[in-house]
Chains A and B, each alone.
Chain A
Amino acid sequence: MDKFTKFTGIVAPLPIINVDTDMIIPKQFLKTIKRTGLGKNLFNEMRYTKDGLEISDFVLNKPAYRLASILVTGSNFGCGSSREHAPWALFDFGIRCVIAPTFADIFYNNCFKNGILLIKLPQSDVDQLIFDAKNEASPMISIDLEKHEITCHDDICIKFEIDSFRKHCLLNGLDDIDLTLQKKNKIERFEIHHHLEQPWL
């Protein structure tokens, strides 16, 4: 996994609540057996007509946001299915960070495992970021994971919180499986004990 430390990028505003995983990547694209290549189908049904033509007023089709790497959106983003294709599609498009008041649980886990930073901010901050992203000529912000800071165009600084273990993994690009396999002895000990308690399993 790539390391995530600091970066600056274009913010795309998507002021919709309950954006579900079917909206992020519709099921016809779940038939792939790879992790890559889904970016072109991100938000497919909002982004393209039935005939595959771009819908010009969808945010990621507008010239200012075509290279967006940060998404600011409404609450409960990522609800619905557990499909990791949703973070894969976001990542493949180039999104490295999503900011919203709240996220759905499974989606939240999935993003961190794919090097996407999710930031929860109060609704008022999100509203301000959406307003700025809509109205700035070049809506850029900088994110510093180490310092838990977002810096906006006029040097306004917004602090955010993040779980220390998730932060550690993102900063160092760590693979969970390697970390867990280091605990092999503990797992083995647990299995012996567990088998004594529930031998029918």
Chain B
Amino acid sequence: MIKPRTLFDKLWNSHLVDIQDGDLIYIDRHLVHEVTSPQAFEGLRNGGRRVRRGKMTLLVADHNVPTTNRSNGIIDIESCVQVQTLEDNAKAFCLEYFGMEDIRQGIVHIIGPEQGFTLPGTTIVCGDSHTSTHGAFGALAFGIGTSEVEHVLATQTLIQHPAKNMLVRVDGVLPVNVTSKDLALYIIGKLGTAGGTGYVIEYVGEVISSLSMESRMTICNMTIEAGARAGIIAPDKTTFEYLQDRPMSPKGIMWQNAIAYWKTLTSDRGAYYDAELFINANSLVPMVTWGTSPEDVLPITGCVPDPVVVVNPSKRAAVERSLIYMGLIPGTPLTDIKIDVVFIGSCTNGRIEDFRAAASILKGKKIASNVKLLAVPGSGLVKKQAEDEGLDIIFREAGAQWREPGCSMCLAMNADKLDEGERSASTSNRNFEGRQGRGGRTHLVSPIMAAAAALTGKLTDVRKL
């Protein structure tokens, strides 16, 4: 009998080119953005090498692009050079490129799925850790460094070590106003930011099956924050429906053949996992981070923790450091924490479903007078869809700024950033020191929690609004 295999094992084995000197695996899809690619293309040029499979490569500018009026191009000279370099490289190496004026432009992890570039059963890489997002489609997708970007461009392969398998099963039903973002934060809190190191996490269970593709992407996106290499969810009807008729999805008879193959992409019964985590979703509540690591997470009903009770000395030192940076006093109820800025967007929560959810909270209301709310769609197509549905009007009437697509305040490489000491409720994925601007303080939340915080000017339990 053949040994039962996990979905990860199947994806790995079906891409193995060679096993001498480390596993050499084939890469089907390569997404490239402006920040982590210039040195890779420079390396190709210096080595006199070509791009091996241009058709498997898609370029887009997202990290640096302005989210305000783009008619004058990019004002910041360095950002402009970086984006221009990407465009030049696209031309020089004959690669598909979505420029700033293209409606398909957006955050790399939003446009891949949107275009049907992301497909089940593929290996997908990008010079960006949140490439894990694409695992929601039953693809093996992970972030790589610039040297590896160059390696993939030149060879369409990567030298990798196989990961260990972790299973996360989520059963029950997510309560009303508790979202897949809350679930993702909860899991990171359980595992810790290094708990997934060396693993690929497969998510299964009633809750996962019932989630939309957008919500599944949020979970796989955040998987990297638990230290795991990738997150995967077996493809099913929801996946196929999402992909059907996307511009780059297979068509006609190919589509039928593809579906037949994709249906085989599940873990075998009895497959072995090196670690397992079981969660019942019934009692989950909205989550919020209080510190400077995504593992510093608590239910919104909680209070700022006291380092005195932390036993592990290096962990205690980390909590103390976080609290000083965040300007928080132990014991303060989280709902007493005042907010200056709310950011709704990013590859974690910048999809249409996220804007619909936030709009449902904001509809007919005004945000608190001391709050600035930035709504940044994840792509030009998400923006258009939202506008077609009138969501932009709801946001604007509530007092929000409705912006052009890009990474924006998720990492604050463009003009969208927190000032020293400013505090945000953000739907993005990282609350690291300085992430949203030097001295800026980030609380990670779901889109509806972000909208609720915008209305009251404080971290708020959206269930009580």
Q: Which residues of A are at the interface with B, using a C-beta cutoff of 8 A?
A: 15-18, 20, 22-23, 26-28, 30-35, 45, 50, 74-76, 79-84, 87, 102, 104-106, 109-110, 113-114, 163, 165, 168, 176-177, 179-181, 183, 186-187, 190-191, 194, 197-201
Segment touching A, from B91-99, B201-209, B267-275, B430-438:
B430-438
Question: How many angstroms between the C-alpha atoms of A102 and B193 in the bound complex?
Answer: 12
Using a CB-CB cutoff of 8 Å, which residues 247-278 of chain B contact chain A? 250, 254-255, 257-258, 261
B156 within 8 A of A: yes
Question: How many angstroms between the C-alpha atoms of A190 and B13 in the bound complex?
Answer: 12
Instruction: Tell me which residues across on chain B come within 8 A of A16, comparing CB atoms.
Output: 317-318, 321
CB of B314 within 8 A of CB of A109, answer: no
B408 within 8 A of A: no
CB of A17 within 8 A of CB of B318, answer: yes
Closest to A28 in B: B413
CB of A104 within 8 A of CB of B432, answer: no
A-B residue pairs in contact (CB < 8 Å), sample of 27: A15-B314, A18-B194, A22-B434, A26-B434, A27-B411, A33-B42, A45-B434, A50-B420, A50-B439, A75-B194, A76-B194, A79-B194, A79-B227, A80-B430, A82-B143, A83-B145, A104-B197, A105-B197, A114-B147, A176-B159, A180-B151, A180-B159, A183-B18, A186-B18, A194-B15, A197-B261, A200-B119
CB of B433 within 8 A of CB of A18, answer: no
B315 within 8 A of A: yes
CB of A177 within 8 A of CB of B81, answer: no
CB of B82 within 8 A of CB of A33, answer: yes
CB of A187 within 8 A of CB of B317, answer: no
Question: How many angstroms between the C-alpha atoms of A156 and B438 in the bound complex?
Answer: 42
Question: How many angstroms between the C-alpha atoms of A19 and B227 in the bound complex?
Answer: 13
Taking A31-B78, A106-B145, A179-B159 as known contacts, 12 extra A-B pairs with beta carbons closer than 8 A to each other, sorted by chain A number, are: A15-B317, A17-B314, A18-B293, A20-B293, A50-B420, A82-B131, A84-B39, A105-B197, A105-B229, A110-B148, A177-B150, A194-B15
CB of B254 within 8 A of CB of A199, answer: yes
Question: How many angstroms between the C-alpha atoms of A22 and B81 in the bound complex?
Answer: 22
Instruction: Tell me which residues across on chain A come within 8 A of B36, comparing CB atoms.
Output: 82-84
Instruction: Tell me which residues across on chain B come within 8 A of A177, comparing CB atoms.
Output: 47, 49, 150-151, 154-155
Question: How many angstroms between the C-alpha atoms of A75 and B195 in the bound complex?
Answer: 12
CB of A18 within 8 A of CB of B82, answer: no
Instruction: Tell me which residues across on chain A come within 8 A of B227, comparing CB atoms.
Output: 76, 79, 104-105
Closest to A164 in B: B21
CB of A201 within 8 A of CB of B119, answer: yes
CB of A22 within 8 A of CB of B432, answer: yes
CB of A82 within 8 A of CB of B147, answer: no
Question: How many angstroms between the C-alpha atoms of A37 and B5 in the bound complex?
Answer: 47
B129 within 8 A of A: yes
Using a CB-CB cutoff of 8 Å, which residues 121-138 of chain B contact chain A? 121-122, 127-129, 131
CB of A18 within 8 A of CB of B318, answer: yes
With contacts A74-B314, A81-B128, A177-B150 taken as known, whether A109 is within 8 angstroms of B229 at the C-beta atoms is: no
Closest to B318 in A: A17
Residues of B within 8 A of A (CB-CB), count: 76
CB of A23 within 8 A of CB of B198, answer: no
Question: How many angstroms between the C-alpha atoms of A187 and B158 in the bound complex?
Answer: 11
With contacts A104-B194, A110-B145, A200-B250 taken as known, whether A180 is within 8 angstroms of B129 at the C-beta atoms is: no
Q: Which residues of B are at the interface with A, using a C-beta cutoff of 8 A?
A: 14-15, 17-18, 21-22, 24, 26, 28, 35-36, 38-39, 42, 47, 49, 56, 63-64, 76, 78-79, 81-82, 85, 119, 121-122, 127-129, 131, 142-148, 150-151, 154-157, 159, 161, 193-194, 197-198, 227, 229, 250, 254-255, 257-258, 261, 293, 314-315, 317-318, 321, 411-413, 420, 430, 432-435, 438-439
Instruction: Tell me which residues across on chain B come within 8 A of A17, comparing CB atoms.
Output: 314-315, 317-318
Closest to A175 in B: B47
Instruction: Tell me which residues across on chain B come within 8 A of A201, comparing CB atoms.
Output: 28, 56, 119, 122
CB of A165 within 8 A of CB of B21, answer: yes
CB of A80 within 8 A of CB of B432, answer: yes
Closest to B78 in A: A31
Query: Distance in Å from the Cβ of A46 to the closest Cβ of chain B?
Result: 9
Central interface residue in B85, B144, B145, by most chain A CB within 10 Å: B145
CB of B129 within 8 A of CB of A33, answer: no
CB of A83 within 8 A of CB of B194, answer: no
Query: Distance in Å from the Cβ of B323 to the closest Cβ of chain A?
Result: 15
Instruction: Tell me which residues across on chain B come within 8 A of A23, comparing CB atoms.
Output: 432-434
CB of A31 within 8 A of CB of B82, answer: yes
Question: How many angstroms between the C-alpha atoms of A1 and B147 in the bound complex?
Answer: 11
Rank and list the top 10 A-B pairs by shortest CB-CB distance, nearest first.
A200-B250, A33-B38, A110-B145, A31-B78, A82-B143, A84-B145, A113-B147, A84-B146, A76-B194, A22-B432
Question: How many angstroms between the C-alpha atoms of A81 and B18 in the bound complex?
Answer: 28
Question: How many angstroms between the C-alpha atoms of A187 and B314 in the bound complex?
Answer: 46
Query: Distance in Å from the Cβ of A81 to the closest Cβ of chain B?
Result: 5
With contacts A50-B420, A201-B28 taken as known, whether A76 is within 8 angstroms of B22 at the C-beta atoms is: no
Instruction: Tell me which residues across on chain B come within 8 A of A87, comparing CB atoms.
Output: 145
Question: How many angstroms between the C-alpha atoms of A109 and B160 in the bound complex?
Answer: 9
Pick from A26, A34, A109, A200: contact of B145, CB under 8 Å:
A109
Instruction: Tell me which residues across on chain B come within 8 A of A194, comparing CB atoms.
Output: 14-15, 26
Instruction: Tell me which residues across on chain A come within 8 A of B261, comparing CB atoms.
Output: 197-198
Query: Distance in Å from the Cβ of B22 to the closest Cβ of chain A?
Result: 5
Instruction: Tell me which residues across on chain A come within 8 A of B121, comparing CB atoms.
Output: 198
Instruction: Tell me which residues across on chain A come within 8 A of B82, comparing CB atoms.
Output: 31, 33
Question: How many angstroms between the C-alpha atoms of A113 and B78 in the bound complex?
Answer: 26
Closest to B82 in A: A31
CB of B198 within 8 A of CB of A187, answer: no
Question: How many angstroms between the C-alpha atoms of A179 and B250 in the bound complex?
Answer: 34
Query: Distance in Å from the Cβ of B96 to the closest Cβ of chain A?
Result: 15
Instruction: Tell me which residues across on chain B come within 8 A of A74, comparing CB atoms.
Output: 314
CB of A76 within 8 A of CB of B193, answer: yes
Pick from A31, A75, A106: contact of B143, CB under 8 Å:
A106
CB of A179 within 8 A of CB of B21, answer: yes
Instruction: Tell me which residues across on chain A come within 8 A of B420, comparing CB atoms.
Output: 50
Question: How many angstroms between the C-alpha atoms of A16 and B197 in the bound complex?
Answer: 18
